[in-house]
Amino acid sequence: MNPVDMLQDARFTRRSFVAGSLGALAAALLAEELSPLTAFAEDSAPAGPMDPSRRDGVIDTICEMCVWRCGVRATVRDGRVVKLDGNPDHPHSLGKLCPRGQAGLLTAYDPDRLKYPLIRAGKRGSGLWRRATWDEAMDYVAEQMKRIAGDYGPQAMVFSSTHNPMQVQFENLLNAYGSPNYGTQRSLCFNAMITANQLTFGVDEPGRDYANARYIVYAGRNLAEAISNSETQELVDAIARGAKVVVLDPRFTKTAAKAHRWLPVRPGNDLAFFLALIHELLANGDYDRAFVARHTVGFEALKAEVEPYTVEWASAKTEIPAETIRAVAAELGAARPRAFVHPNWRTSNFINSFQTERAIAVLNALIGAWGAPGGVCEVSGESAVELGAPPQPPYPRVSALRLDGVPWKYPLVPLKLGIFQNIREAVITGQPYQAKGWFIYRQNPVLSLPDRGRTLEAFNKLELIVNVDISMNDTAWYSDVVLPEATYLERFDPLIVVGDRVFIRQPVIKPLFESRSGLMIFQDLGTRLGLKDFFQYKDELDYLGYQVKPLGVSVEELRQAGSVKVKLPPIDTYLFRTPSGKVELKSSLLAAANQDAVPTWQEPPRPTAVAFYLLTGKVAQHTQFATQNNRYLHELEPGNALWMNPGPAAARELADGETVVVKSRSGEVRVPLRVTEAIRSDCVYLTPGFGHVSKALMTAFDSGVSDSDLHETFTDPVSGGQALSQTFVTVEKV
């Protein structure tokens, strides 16, 4: 049966739900109110009572429209969700939801949702499927996984997922199965930032004290559009209080529009800017001598290294005037320690992004921002809270090398981060051994990995591709078995820790169609694989019962309250988990690995005179590759266009709105042009997440183009981060 036919029921017209509320939503990045979607919910939701133990009303749960996990108050009537609001009692929402969070209703009630298990009935990507029962689909997957483990060893199965609360049980499955090959999107996102902060401070990502900050520098972090709800609100409040904001970005983003200074830096040269700031602060003695003396190592080596990195030198690299760099250094020095350079998030830009992140971390140490009001700090949380777990035996010993090369080729990449793009390359080359199967959970590598053609080439090498998701995304479209998961409004997940509180994601409606929670899918599969001992819980509530044991509450109490407060051990702010126990301005681990141990200039590649840097970023209405089929969000941002400065557009006789051909060494796309002053003349910009190839996504299919058709694959040898902005493109008339 064709999924397009199969998934057609419960259709509705876009206009039926758009009326009235879109203007307000489009106008507000963080609106508090959104028109209820009652009409759509009533029209399309299948009949069926919600969990009988729950009553209609307002139920607290956790948003999953992005990874920020805001608190949601869901209004339920007659077993249907009719409204989502921000929970004022949750530190990530502070009473508000962003557009994606508010539109979450249409993810649950998306008529294109996967409704029941499917087994491929034609060539991969042909769209031919047959409906299967859960028993049949799970038996098939278990048999194939057992066959692969028996014939090639469990290491021949690759597993991958997004970063999500269910990871703990997904990882439980792959660890029990015995595969070392697990990929997440982290190397496409923040490997450089986390590796740099680990080597400098011994933490993953320093927290920020916006409430007391007087001066904030961002290098590419675009909080007004790449919304992290509470942090975006904190930035807005800080600006209102008078904090000065500097934004380095080749694009005039909405964050840049709110900044005190927008510095349109040449891509890949932020490192030169930060090295010059370090040079200037040290040359002027404008740094925190007491902090440096007490808490750091490697100051003299740093000082010697930055000697040549003058503001004039950096100006030539960055194309930011020398007097501006000097002024920023003076302002930062005057505001210290109530100032910070934001550590960034997605730092997969250039091979030198790791050194950029090291320079930022070192700069935060030099201005004494660490532990200071208005500076950066260690964040307590997930790792400090002990949750219970069902009993289980130890995992089997795994001796096979990891396909991503960590740590045997990449000793400094944290094991938990890995190098996702390398797994795909290893599947293609068959080195150091050939993978035979890939189990994908809530992830879309066909759209997220650079060079889509290579990802499909890797898929052709595999005997089994399994996908668990809520919709037939592009990766599911090329899979062999697709298993429907319940959405975040319909299921329990493992508990979520934020600071000193533990939150519960709980169903506010009954799972629609035949969808199931990940907790039950992985338990069922584990049992069929002969791994039942690793999944010793009866159901979701039983699993959560184990988790809450150390917290002193029952699951029901937690469900009613939405969260429980826990006592965290005090943090010793100045106990740094580095080899020296201090802030390592000169990293001993980098030195031991024969890498640049103090922040050092690394020249990034540049496009030729006829080519452009290809930039990608975010819009406030979409999350990566996951929300384009949400009809509410589609109406707000239906596709993408290529941004180009008027200068190069005129030189090529290209007009605004005209379709152009964009080419890289990986591929080409045809896309409308948007001519705008809001971008440097040597760059073009494309919003990712569009260009879906799955015909089962009736809204997103064929809307816009995908940057994955253009991006080339480059891997930073230190952090394993992918260098997305090192792809250069030409743009021509059709």
Q: Determine if the peptide bond prior to 373 is cis (ω within 30°).
A: no
The residue (of 100 and 317) whose beta carbon lies closer to ligand SF4 is 100
Please choose, out of 94-102, 119-127, 518-526, 538-546, the segment that lies near ligand SF4 by the rule CB under 6 A: 94-102
Q: Which residues contact 625 (CB under 8 A, 6 or more apart)?
A: 444, 447, 448, 473, 474, 688, 689, 692
Least Cβ distance, residue 468 to ligand SF4 (angstroms): 21
Which x/- pattern, by CB under 6 A, does the window 63-92 give for ligand SF4? x-xx-xxx----------------------
Contact between 97 and ligand SF4 by CB under 6 A: the answer reads yes
Q: 10 Å Cβ neighbour count for 9?
A: 10
From candidates 34, 40, 74, 101, binder to ligand SF4 by CB under 6 A: 101
Stretch that binds ligand SF4, among 43-51, 97-105, 194-202, 352-360 (CB under 6 A): 97-105
Side chain identity, residue 327:
A
Which residues have a Cβ under 8 Å from the Cβ of 668 and sit 6 or more positions away?
Answer: 661, 662, 709, 710
- Identify which of residues 232 and 296 has a Cβ nearer to ligand SF4 in the complex: 232
Q: By the 8 A CB rule, do 285 and 582 touch? A: no
Q: Applying CB under 6 A, which part among 98-106, 244-252, 260-268, 271-279 lies near ligand SF4? A: 98-106
Within 214-273, the residues that bind ligand SF4 by CB under 6 A are: 227, 229
By beta carbon distance, the residue nearest ligand SF4 is 101
Nearer to ligand SF4, 66 or 731 (CB): 66
Name which of residues 26 to 65 contact ligand SF4 (CB under 6 A): 63, 65
State the minimum distance, in angstroms, from the CB of residue 627 to ligand SF4: 8
Phi, then psi, of 518 in degrees rounded to 5: -60, -35
Nearer to ligand SF4, 96 or 244 (CB): 96
Q: Give the shortest CB-66-to-ligand SF4 separation in angstroms.
A: 3
**Out of 98, 243, 281, 598, which residue is the one contacting ligand SF4 (CB under 6 A)?**
98
Q: To the nearest whole angstrom, how small is the minimum distance from the Cβ of residue 621 to ligand SF4?
A: 10
Report the nearest approach of ligand SF4 to the CB of residue 101 (Å).
2
CA distance 20 to 492: 33
Q: Looking at 53-61, 93-101, 125-133, 502-510, which segment touches ligand SF4 (CB under 6 A)?
A: 93-101
Closer to ligand SF4 at the Cβ: 100 or 674?
Answer: 100
Q: Which residue lies nearer to ligand SF4 by CB, 155 or 229?
A: 229
- Toward ligand SF4, which CB reaches closer, 627 or 640? 627
Query: Which three-class secondary structure string do you get for 354-413?
Result: HHHHHHHHHHHHHCCCECCCCCEECCCCHHHCCCCCCCCCCCCCCCCCCCCCCCCCCCCC
The CB-of-560 to ligand SF4 minimum distance in angstroms stands at 22
Residue 379 CB, nearest approach to ligand SF4 (Å): 18
Q: Are 309 and 397 in contact (CB under 8 A)?
A: no
656-661 own/partner pairs: CB under 8 Å, 24+ apart:
658/733, 658/734, 659/734, 660/731, 660/732, 660/733, 660/734, 661/731, 661/732, 661/733, 661/734
Closest approach, Cβ 349 to ligand SF4, in A, equals 23
Instruction: Give per-residue burial for 109-128: e unless 16+ CB within 10 Å, then b.
Output: bbbbbbbbbbbbeeebbebe
Query: What distance in Å separates the CA atoms of residue 467 and residue 462, rounded to the nearest whole number?
Result: 14
d(CA 446, CA 42): 34
Based on CB atoms, which residue is closest to ligand SF4, 66 or 365? 66
What are the tokens at 278?
Answer: 């370090």
Q: How far is the CB of 224 from ligand SF4 (least distance, A)?
A: 12
Q: Judged by CB, which is closer to ligand SF4: 498, or 614?
A: 498
Q: Which of 26, 220, 206, 97 is nearest to 576 (CA)?
A: 206
**Residue number with CB closer to ligand SF4 (101 or 604):** 101
Q: How many residues bind ligand SF4 (CB under 6 A)?
A: 12
Exposure string of 396-423, with b = 16+ CB inside 10 Å and e = fewer, is eebeebbbbbbeeebebbbeebbbbbbb
Nearer to ligand SF4, 65 or 446 (CB): 65
- Helix (H) / strand (E) element for 540: namely helix 540-548
Interacting residues toward ligand SF4 by CB under 6 A: 63, 65-66, 68-70, 97-98, 100-101, 227, 229
